């Protein structure tokens, strides 16, 4: 274990991976339970077992993607707990995670994906070209280099994933369920590829996790796993011999602990006696030329079939071949583009609710209401199918019993094991006594025992209750249990018949083989190229290139930073919603705020009651109606009128001039002018008050000057100079204030999303398993958003000048410099927020709160920072928006230049290393 | 009848789903309690601790008197600064106001020469600038005239303005803040709740399930609209009674019940809007972005935060199409001005019309997008 020297002398003899008592716990679940294991080098090793037994966790630990919690793991002669060893060894390991193309970038093309990975491993231009050409020619992807990864078929995605893994010529290749959901032909091709790569590189060790027992049969060495433990290891021959079984599936079930196996027996399917039902041509479903097109993509192409009552009919095909779409057309979920379907003799019409009563539907994801309990789910479905209320409790009880759910009626589905959830899903589909069950991949992810139990239920439903069952699957052994199957590929049905007949027609060794022959016949093969001469020639060049790759150590590399930056920029450019949000979001919000946060009071509606109607009173009234602030409405007739109109919000101000106003004024008697102001909006009321008082005072002075009635002159005069914005207009004040607010909120949110999205999609794995460092990752992500934010800044400035007519009075350079530093801090804050969050929605909320609150409240947007106290004051002093506001207002309104604003620049510059450094420090290089 | 039954059952399901989603429940409670409370208590009373500096070139008893007349909460105790620092302080935003008392000020006042005091205001801080200068004028003039009165007999202004603020005599901003917040939260929460309910259903794949059952898209949508509308309405009512009236002691002028009827009608359009946005977004994060872009204009331009008269005419006209504009109007009329249905009926009518249109468009869009969702 202490031997971490890179010597490979004994590599052939030493195990490539040694696991010592490794355990892994997520929350309450124990994914791995004290596993110890030696994996031999230079072999093809299979980890077998159903989903959720800990295969993926073990592989993630071995690859270094996940941090080791307990125990130790030694990979390529070094301790994976040590950072130094991980960094040194990671260019020699390749890890392809579970899920079709999970670590790929769907928006990038095949070429771009490969270029990205190649750059991360430090390959130069020539190496990259020769490696990419070599790999894509061998895998048949060469002609698809320009296609986005997201638009590849499942099989091609997996091939691309393989190319990306092999780009740096690893010694240890780790594949996590690489063929799940891929059609059998593509699967066979995939394994051929692996075999051929292993032939050209004898030393390469391959570790594969798989749920398909049949494909594991050909591996050199197997590890059978269940419930976080290793059941057994050995070659497949050894395991079969030990358990005295014919197939691995059978052997696996025998290896399971006693309590899991209990009650399990091999499935026998009683033959279908159509004669019993009376007539052989009692058709449950008939489809004729069903076609579905989405745009110019044909998902289902003239599919026809007939299913007899009581039959179990299977659709066999890969992901995306049109199985689900066909089912949706049959259930009326999707109206068919062309063709027709009949269910029990009635034409399927998506508007006809009555046909739906005969159908029970169970979808791939066992979609249940996770917020409703088991019983509530059953009751809800029974009610929605309008079962008589009196019969519901009995039926629900019956279903609970029949589907083995009596012990869990009040649990929430999410807390139940997958197998139980699957049964509940079936119970829900059956609750209303449908004559027909439509099951869309109902057994994905369930262990073999549970799957067999599930099939027993299906068989009982079919044979005893005469329910017609229509099922899709990509498991061959499940397809074999159907009475008849249709082989589907690329939207077309290749053939329909009983499994045995299909095998016989092709004189094949099994159903899988038959399917492959059908696929070859259908021309599916041309997608995968044979190994061309060019590819073979490339081998030599690629081999040469492989030498220096491992030498690239994990120091800081500008190249890797640039490759992350380049990739981020590409993605950003191709995601319309994000780009729109980034570019126009700020402009829209600026427009809204510019017009929305206006404190100007103009055109206020007011009315007069002039009870004097003298020359003087009319003069007083004229003084007000002449103002641009007020708009006179028709005079008031009475106090009731006043009350009514003010209540309706029609008048904001009412002025009443008392009787004998003019006369009293001239005689120097005290006069009172009545003023009513709508106080519902206090700020506005305050402003109105200011205007009225000002005008009143102005009139008095004027009146005094002209008429010299009041002799007293003012004691002192206050000359108010509104600096920087002499007309006290809202826009020149708002715009420079709003810009820093928007420049922090949106860039922070976008950069936070950029990181968290990788966490959600799974491509963050590339940070864990490639030599890229945290600094390179973070800065590479940040730079495009800084540039985007600067573009945003320029657009907003343009809008301010052109649309809002708010000129830049000071130095534009000074403003831009401030904006640049500010954008770096703003995106840094986003990165910082991303280290605390896992989901995009949480990241959005956090950045919103983390930017809007301090920027809006504590940074001096409305009240200066000096007027704050306590924590708000402290945040305000250091928060970058405070300083950007000084710069923005300084340049826009106060005509300042760079030298006047040094303090603000320095304060923001100081925040850069803190924010960015902290976010890099808090980012994990391994999954915790 | 069958429709109603389905809607009822689906609605009950929505309520269960919501009740078991702790994040959403916290959001609702937070929005209608803490957020309303803080909005009212955090709003500064008119002028709050404005930063004033005084350049005193007179250094007389009168100037000293003026100097000491500024105190919290409206003002921070002023700083006495030399004349050359005034501009710099304004430039860096350190002071919002700089008052310049000229030499021989007291002498000139007493001699009746009516001297000028210069008040420099940083007008980039709009609200403070405008209100603050008014206050400062009053304070300075008050001090001056009191000072003079002590010297010689008084002289009264011939014409007095008798100002009365209707509906909120003391212009307590907290009242306004709390009620506006309730109105804003009704809009926000109803959009988020319905939208999230639909997106959650799609992400879990349960919408597919509903579609193969004998229920129509109309029933699905109406059940969400009604269930979420009900939740928001009940929360808003509780917030009005317990937070606004009971905790914050805001005197509500009119009938809370009438306001809630208005709210219920508005919810019709905002929940429909939530559904609409949810059909446009492909995922929760996208929905979040859309909400930011839609909600801010709805809240800021509907007249709740700043008066509508201030906005450009075009904006005012466009915003007449938004339900929130009318909701804010009727809310203010009922709650502040104690108006009855006889006065606010046009707003009610507008909301009903807008609501029906929104609902219709949303339903059409929902039906169409179901095909893609399944």
**Shared domain check, A218 and A367:** no
A555 in a domain, yes or no?
Answer: no
Q: Token pair of A719, please?
A: 């000359």
A746 in a domain, yes or no?
Answer: yes
Closest to A864 measured CA to CA, from B95, B85, B77, B97 = B95
Whether A333 and B374 lie within 8 Å, measured CB to CB: yes
**B93/B77 Cα distance (integer angstroms):** 17
- How many Å lie between the alpha carbon of B356 and the closest alpha carbon of chain A? 24
**Shared domain check, A486 and A620:** no
Q: What is the DSSP code (8-state) at residue A289?
A: E
- Measured between beta carbons, the chain B residues lying within 8 angstroms of A596 are 297, 300-301, 305-306, 311
- Measured between beta carbons, the chain A residues lying within 8 angstroms of B6 are 384
Using alpha carbons, list the distances in angstroms from residue A866 to A623, A876, A911.
40, 9, 20
Of chain A, the percentage scoring pLDDT greater than 70 comes to: 90
pLDDT for the residue numbered A705: 61
CB A833 within 8 A of CB A845: no
pTM: 0.79
Q: Would you say residue A532 has pLDDT above 50?
A: no
Closest to B269 measured CA to CA, from B229, B313, B237 = B229
Q: For the CA atoms of chain B, what is the radius of gyration?
A: 28
User: Which of B133, B159, B285 is nearest residue A720 as measured by Cβ atoms?
Assistant: B133
Nearest CA in chain B to A717: B116
**Shared domain check, B348 and B205:** yes
**Shared domain check, A283 and A398:** yes
Kind plus residue range of the DSSP H or E element containing A677: strand A671-678
**Shared domain check, A219 and A333:** no
**B236/A752 Cα distance (integer angstroms):** 33
Q: Would you say residue A494 has pLDDT above 70?
A: yes
Domain of residue B123 covers 52-151
Whether B301 and A885 lie within 8 Å, measured CB to CB: no
Whether B96 and A864 lie within 8 Å, measured CB to CB: yes
pLDDT band at A272 (very low <50, low <70, confident <90, very high): low
Angle, CA A131 vertex, CA A126 and CA A132 arms, to 5°: 100
Kind plus residue range of the DSSP H or E element containing A285: strand A283-294
- Measured between beta carbons, the chain B residues lying within 8 angstroms of A695 are none
- How many Å lie between the alpha carbon of A540 and the closest alpha carbon of chain B? 47
- How many Å lie between the alpha carbon of A68 and the closest alpha carbon of chain B? 31
Laid out side by side, the sheet with A604-610 consists of: A630-632, A604-610, A653-657, A671-678, B159-166
**Shared domain check, B184 and B145:** no
Number of H helices, E strands in chain A: 34, 25
Of chain A, the percentage scoring pLDDT greater than 90 comes to: 15
Whether A385 and B49 lie within 8 Å, measured CB to CB: no
Nearest CA in chain B to A324: B374
Angle, CA B120 vertex, CA A738 and CA A729 arms, to 5°: 40
- Measured between beta carbons, the chain B residues lying within 8 angstroms of A421 are none
For chain B, the maximum distance between any two Cα atoms, rounded to a whole number of angstroms, is 94
**Shared domain check, B85 and B8:** no
Whether B49 and A866 lie within 8 Å, measured CB to CB: yes
**Shared domain check, A213 and A184:** yes
Q: What is the CATH number of the domain that holds B85?
A: 3.40.1710.10
- Measured between beta carbons, the chain B residues lying within 8 angstroms of A364 are 205
B166 in a domain, yes or no?
Answer: no
**Shared domain check, A775 and A849:** yes
- How many Å lie between the alpha carbon of A588 and the closest alpha carbon of chain B? 8
Domain boundary among A490, A522, A554: A522
Q: For the CA atoms of chain A, what is the radius of gyration?
A: 37
Backbone angles phi, psi at A54, to 5 degrees: 110, 5
Laid out side by side, the sheet with A172-176 consists of: A93-96, A172-176, A205-210, A44-48, A221-226, A229-234
**Shared domain check, B288 and B335:** yes
Checking phi first, is residue A575 left (phi over 0); if not, alpha (psi -120 to 50) or beta? beta
- Measured between beta carbons, the chain A residues lying within 8 angstroms of B60 are none
User: Which of A332, A730, A863 is nearest residue B128 as measured by Cβ atoms?
Assistant: A863
Q: pLDDT truncated to tens, each residue of chain B (374 aa)?
A: 778 888 998 999 899 888 888 888 888 998 888 888 877 765 555 667 788 899 999 889 888 888 888 887 778 888 889 988 888 888 888 888 999 999 998 888 888 787 888 999 888 877 777 778 878 887 887 888 788 777 765 455 566 777 788 777 777 777 777 888 888 889 989 999 999 889 888 877 788 778 778 888 889 999 999 999 999 999 999 999 998 888 888 888 788 899 999 999 999 899 999 999 998 887 777 788 788 888 888 888 887 777 777 777 888 888 899 999 999 888 888 888 888 888 889 999 999 999 999 999 999 998 888 766 55
A270 in a domain, yes or no?
Answer: no
Mutate to test the interface with A, among B144, B150, B159 (most CBs of A within 10 A): B159
Instruction: Answer whether B165 touches A (CB < 8 Å).
Output: yes
Whether B93 and A889 lie within 8 Å, measured CB to CB: yes
Q: Token pair of B205, please?
A: 């794949």
DSSP for A121-159, written as a single string: TT--HHHHHHHHHHHHHHHT-GGGTTSBGGGS-HHHHHH
Closest to A109 measured CA to CA, from A156, A158, A144 = A144
Whether B148 and A354 lie within 8 Å, measured CB to CB: no
Whether B114 and A715 lie within 8 Å, measured CB to CB: yes
A485 in a domain, yes or no?
Answer: yes
**Shared domain check, A227 and A150:** yes
pLDDT for the residue numbered B42: 59
Dump pLDDT digits (tens) for A852-883: 878 877 887 776 777 777 777 888 889 999 99
Whether B300 and A646 lie within 8 Å, measured CB to CB: no
B161 in a domain, yes or no?
Answer: no
**A449/A359 Cα distance (integer angstroms):** 27
CB B47 within 8 A of CB A683: no
- How many Å lie between the alpha carbon of A543 and the closest alpha carbon of chain B? 44
**Shared domain check, A793 and A840:** yes
**Shared domain check, B339 and B262:** yes
User: Which of B285, B338, B339 is nearest residue A840 as measured by Cβ atoms?
Assistant: B285
Checking phi first, is residue A421 left (phi over 0); if not, alpha (psi -120 to 50) or beta? alpha
A600 in a domain, yes or no?
Answer: no
pLDDT band at A534 (very low <50, low <70, confident <90, very high): very low
Closest to B140 measured CA to CA, from B65, B247, B200 = B65
**A750/A747 Cα distance (integer angstroms):** 5
Length of chain B: 374
Pairing of strands A221-226, A205-210: unpaired
- How many Å lie between the alpha carbon of A273 and the closest alpha carbon of chain B? 30
User: Which of A335, A672, A718 is nearest residue B160 as measured by Cβ atoms?
Assistant: A672
**Shared domain check, A680 and A782:** no
Nearest CA in chain A to B369: A334
Kind plus residue range of the DSSP H or E element containing A313: strand A312-316
Cis amide linkage into residue B312, ω under 30° from 0: no
N-terminal to C-terminal alpha carbon distance within chain B: 27
Q: Which residues contact A29 (CB under 8 A, 6 or more apart)?
A: none
Strands, E, within B11-125: which ranges?
52-56, 79-80, 97-101, 116-122
Q: What is the CATH number of the domain that holds A643?
A: 3.40.1710.10
Backbone angles phi, psi at A559, to 5 degrees: -60, -45
Whether A356 and B165 lie within 8 Å, measured CB to CB: no
Whether B289 and A577 lie within 8 Å, measured CB to CB: yes
Whether B159 and A665 lie within 8 Å, measured CB to CB: yes
- Measured between beta carbons, the chain B residues lying within 8 angstroms of A690 are 130-131, 134
**A40/B279 Cα distance (integer angstroms):** 53
pLDDT for the residue numbered A545: 42
Angle, CA A302 vertex, CA A301 and CA A307 arms, to 5°: 120
Mutate to test the interface with B, among A703, A720, A901 (most CBs of B within 10 A): A720
Q: What is the CATH number of the domain that holds A257?
A: 3.40.50.300
Whether B114 and A717 lie within 8 Å, measured CB to CB: yes
**Shared domain check, B232 and B99:** no
**Shared domain check, B13 and B96:** no
Angle, CA A881 vertex, CA A880 and CA A884 arms, to 5°: 90
**A385/A366 Cα distance (integer angstroms):** 19
Q: Would you say residue A593 has pLDDT above 90?
A: no
**Shared domain check, B299 and B316:** yes
Instruction: Answer whether B144 touches A (CB < 8 Å).
Output: yes
CB A149 within 8 A of CB A160: yes
N-terminal to C-terminal alpha carbon distance within chain A: 23
Whether A890 and B311 lie within 8 Å, measured CB to CB: no
Q: What is the DSSP code (8-state) at residue A482?
A: S
**Shared domain check, B62 and B38:** no
Instruction: Answer whether B218 touches A (CB < 8 Å).
Output: no
Nearest CA in chain B to A722: B121
Using CB atoms within 10 Å of the CB of residue A717, give its burial: 0 to 12 exposed, 13 to 18 middle, 19+ buried: middle
**Shared domain check, A353 and A204:** no
A490 in a domain, yes or no?
Answer: yes
CB A186 within 8 A of CB A158: yes
Mutate to test the interface with A, among B213, B284, B303, B367 (most CBs of A within 10 A): B213
Dump pLDDT digits (tens) for A133-175: 988 888 888 888 888 888 787 778 888 988 998 888 888 999 9
A545 in a domain, yes or no?
Answer: no
Q: Which residues contact A760 (CB under 8 A, 6 or more apart)?
A: A838, A839, A840
A22 in a domain, yes or no?
Answer: no
Number of domains in chain B: 2
Q: Token pair of B365, please?
A: 């869009």
- Measured between beta carbons, the chain A residues lying within 8 angstroms of B345 are none
B158 in a domain, yes or no?
Answer: no
Domain boundary among B121, B151, B181: B151
Q: Token pair of B193, please?
A: 């709740």
pLDDT for the residue numbered A540: 40
Whether B208 and A841 lie within 8 Å, measured CB to CB: no
Instruction: Answer whether B120 touches A (CB < 8 Å).
Output: yes
**Shared domain check, A785 and A638:** no
- How many Å lie between the alpha carbon of A83 and the closest alpha carbon of chain B? 34
ipTM for the whole complex: 0.77
CB A200 within 8 A of CB A539: yes
User: Which of A333, A372, A671 is nearest residue B158 as measured by Cβ atoms?
Assistant: A671
**pLDDT, greater one: A49 or A525:** A49
CB B323 within 8 A of CB B269: yes
Whether A646 and B165 lie within 8 Å, measured CB to CB: no
Backbone angles phi, psi at B58, to 5 degrees: -100, -45
**Shared domain check, A438 and A315:** yes
User: Which of B293, B310, B333 is nearest residue A647 as measured by Cβ atoms?
Assistant: B333
- Measured between beta carbons, the chain B residues lying within 8 angstroms of A689 are 163, 165
DSSP for A39-93, written as a single string: E-TTSEEEEE--TTSSHHHHHHHHHTSB---EEEEEETTEETTSHHHHHHHGGGE
Domain boundary among B118, B151, B184: B151
Instruction: Answer whether B118 touches A (CB < 8 Å).
Output: yes
Domain of residue A753 covers 565-593+728-922
Q: Which residues contact B301 (CB under 8 A, 6 or more apart)?
A: A592, A595, A596, B311, B315, B319, B322, B325
Number of domains in chain A: 4
**Shared domain check, B216 and B129:** no
**A130/A137 Cα distance (integer angstroms):** 11
Whether A648 and B204 lie within 8 Å, measured CB to CB: no
**Shared domain check, B201 and B75:** no
**B62/B66 Cα distance (integer angstroms):** 6
Domain boundary among B151, B186, B216: B151
């Amino acid at each position: 274990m202490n031997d971490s020297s890179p010597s490979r002398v004994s590599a052939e003899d030493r195990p490539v991976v040694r696991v010592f008592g490794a355990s892994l716990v997520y929350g309450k679940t124990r994914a791995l339970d004290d596993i110890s294991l030696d994996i031999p080098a230079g072999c093809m090793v299979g980890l077998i077992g159903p989903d959720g037994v800990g295969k993926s966790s073990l592989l993630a630990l071995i690859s270094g993607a996940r941090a080791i919690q307990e125990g130790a793991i030694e990979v390529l002669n070094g301790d994976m707990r040590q950072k130094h060893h991980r960094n040194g060894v990671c260019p020699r390991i390749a890890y392809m995670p579970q899920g079709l193309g999970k670590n790929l970038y769907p928006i990038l093309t095949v070429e771009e994906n490969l270029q990205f990975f190649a750059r991360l491993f430090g390959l130069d231009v020539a190496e990259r070209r020769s490696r990419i050409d070599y790999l894509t020619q061998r895998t048949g992807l060469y002609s698809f280099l320009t296609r986005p990864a997201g638009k590849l078929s499942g099989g091609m995605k997996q091939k691309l994933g393989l190319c990306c893994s092999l780009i740096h010529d690893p010694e240890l290749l780790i594949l996590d369920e690489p063929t799940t959901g891929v059609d059998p032909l593509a699967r066979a091709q995939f394994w051929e590829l692996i075999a051929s790569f292993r032939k050209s590189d004898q030393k390469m060790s391959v570790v594969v996790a798989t749920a398909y027992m049949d494909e594991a049969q050909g591996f050199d060495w197997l590890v059978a796993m269940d419930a976080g433990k290793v059941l057994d290891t050995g070659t497949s021959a050894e395991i079969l011999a030990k358990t005295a079984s014919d197939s691995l599936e059978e052997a696996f079930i025998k290896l399971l602990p006693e309590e899991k196996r209990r009650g399990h027996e091999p499935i026998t399917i009683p033959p279908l006696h159509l004669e019993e039902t009376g007539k052989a041509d009692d058709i449950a479903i008939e489809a004729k030329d069903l076609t579905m097109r989405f745009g110019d993509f044909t998902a289902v192409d003239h599919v026809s079939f007939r299913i007899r009552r009581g039959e179990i009919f299977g659709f066999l095909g890969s992901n995306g071949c049109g199985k689900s779409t066909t089912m949706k057309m049959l259930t009326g979920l999707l109206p068919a583009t062309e063709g027709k379907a009949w269910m029990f003799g009635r034409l399927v019409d998506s508007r006809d609710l009555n046909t739906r009563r005969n159908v029970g539907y169970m979808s791939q994801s066992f979609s249940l209401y996770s917020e409703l309990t088991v019983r509530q789910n059953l009751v809800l479905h029974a009610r929605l199918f309008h079962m008589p209320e009196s019969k519901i409790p009995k039926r629900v009880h019956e279903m609970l019993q029949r589907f083995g759910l009596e012990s869990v009626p009040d649990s929430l589905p999410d807390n139940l094991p997958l197998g139980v959830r699957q049964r509940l899903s079936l119970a829900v589909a059956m609750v209303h006594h449908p004559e027909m069950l439509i099951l869309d991949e109902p057994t994905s992810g369930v262990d073999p025992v549970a799957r067999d139990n599930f099939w027993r239920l299906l068989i009982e439903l079919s044979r005893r209750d005469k329910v017609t069952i229509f099922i899709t699957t990509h498991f061959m052994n499940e397809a074999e249990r159907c009475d008849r199957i249709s082989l589907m590929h690329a939207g077309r049905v290749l053939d329909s018949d009983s499994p045995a007949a299909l095998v016989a027609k092709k004189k094949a060794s099994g159903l899988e083989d038959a399917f492959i022959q059908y696929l070859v016949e259908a021309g599916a093969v041309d997608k995968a190229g044979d190994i061309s001469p060019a590819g073979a020639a490339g081998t030599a060049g690629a081999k040469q290139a492989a030498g220096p790759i491992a030498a690239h150590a994990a120091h800081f590399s500008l190249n890797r930073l640039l490759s992350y930056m380049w990739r981020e920029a590409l993605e950003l450019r191709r995601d319309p919603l994000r780009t729109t949000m980034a570019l126009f979001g700020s402009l829209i919000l600026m427009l809204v705020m510019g017009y929305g946060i206006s404190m100007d009071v103009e055109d206020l509606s007011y009315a007069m009651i002039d009870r004097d109607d003298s020359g003087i009173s009319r003069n007083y009234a004229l003084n007000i109606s002449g103002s641009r602030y007020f708009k006179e409405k028709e005079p008031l007739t009475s106090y009731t009128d006043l009350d009514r109109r003010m209540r309706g919000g029609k008048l904001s101000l009412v002025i009443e001039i008392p009787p004998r106003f003019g006369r009293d004024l001239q005689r120097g008697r005290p006069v009172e002018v009545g003023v009513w102001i709508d106080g519902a909006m206090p700020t506005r009321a305050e402003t109105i008050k200011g205007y009225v008082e000002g005008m009143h005072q102005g009139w008095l002075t004027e009146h005094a000057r002209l008429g010299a009635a009041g002799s007293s002159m003012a004691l002192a005069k206050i000359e108010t100079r509104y600096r920087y914005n002499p007309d006290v207009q809202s826009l020149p004040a708002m715009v420079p204030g709003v810009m820093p607010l928007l420049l922090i909120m949106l860039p922070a949110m976008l950069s936070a999303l950029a990181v968290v999205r990788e966490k959600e999609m799974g491509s963050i794995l590339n940070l864990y398993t490639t030599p890229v460092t945290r600094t390179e990752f973070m800065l590479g992500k940040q730079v495009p958003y800084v540039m985007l934010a600067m573009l945003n800044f320029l657009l907003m400035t343009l809008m301010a000048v052109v649309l809002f007519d708010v000129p830049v009075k000071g130095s534009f350079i000074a403003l831009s410099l401030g904006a640049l530093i500010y954008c770096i801090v703003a995106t840094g804050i986003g990165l910082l927020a991303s280290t605390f969050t896992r989901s995009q929605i949480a990241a959005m909320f956090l950045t919103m709160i983390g930017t809007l609150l301090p920027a809006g409240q504590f940074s001096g947007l409305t009240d200066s920072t000096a007027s704050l106290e306590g924590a708000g004051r402290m945040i305000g002093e250091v928060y970058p928006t405070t300083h950007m506001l000084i710069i923005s207002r300084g340049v826009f309104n106060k005509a300042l230049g760079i030298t006047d604003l040094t303090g603000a620049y320095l304060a923001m510059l100081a925040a850069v290393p803190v924010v960015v450094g902290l976010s890099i420090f808090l980012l994990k290089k391994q999954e915790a | 009848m069958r429709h109603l039954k389905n809607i009822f059952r689906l609605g009950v399901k929505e309520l269960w789903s919501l009740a078991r989603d702790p994040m959403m429940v916290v959001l609702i409670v937070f929005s209608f309690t803490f957020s309303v409370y803080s909005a009212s208590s955090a709003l500064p009373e008119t002028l709050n601790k404005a930063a004033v500096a005084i350049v005193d070139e007179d250094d007389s008893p009168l100037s000293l008197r003026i100097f000491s007349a500024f105190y919290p909460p409206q003002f921070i105790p002023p700083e006495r600064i030399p004349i050359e620092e005034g501009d710099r302080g304004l430039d860096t935003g350190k002071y919002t106001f700089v008052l310049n008392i000229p030499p021989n000020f007291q002498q000139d006042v007493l001699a009746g020469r009516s001297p000028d005091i210069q008040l420099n205001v940083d007008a980039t801080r709009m609200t403070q600038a405008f209100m603050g200068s008014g206050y400062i004028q009053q304070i300075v003039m008050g001090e001056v005239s009191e000072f003079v009165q002590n010297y010689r007999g008084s002289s009264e202004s011939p014409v007095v303005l008798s100002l009365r603020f209707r509906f909120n005599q003391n212009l307590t901003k907290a009242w306004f803040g709390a009620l506006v917040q309730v109105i804003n939260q009704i809009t926000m929460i109803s959009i988020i709740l319905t939208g999230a309910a639909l997106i959650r259903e799609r992400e879990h794949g349960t919408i597919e399930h509903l579609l193969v059952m004998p229920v129509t898209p109309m029933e699905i949508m109406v059940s969400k609209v009604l269930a979420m509308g009900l939740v928001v309405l009940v929360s808003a009512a509780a917030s009005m009674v317990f937070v606004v009236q009971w905790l914050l002691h805001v005197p509500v002028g009119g009938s809370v019940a009438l306001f809630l009827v208005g709210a219920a009608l508005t919810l019709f359009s905002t929940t429909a809007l939530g559904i609409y946005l949810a059909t446009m977004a492909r995922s929760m994060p996208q929905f979040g972005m859309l909400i930011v872009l839609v909600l801010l204009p709805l809240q800021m331009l509907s007249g709740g935060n700043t008066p509508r008269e201030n906005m450009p005419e075009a904006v005012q006209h466009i915003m007449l199409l938004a339900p929130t504009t009318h909701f804010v109007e009727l809310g203010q009329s009922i709650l502040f001005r104690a108006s009855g249905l006889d006065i606010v009926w046009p707003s009610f009518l507008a909301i009903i019309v807008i609501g029906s249109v929104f609902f219709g468009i949303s339903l059409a869009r929902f039906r169409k997008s179901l095909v893609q969702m399944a």
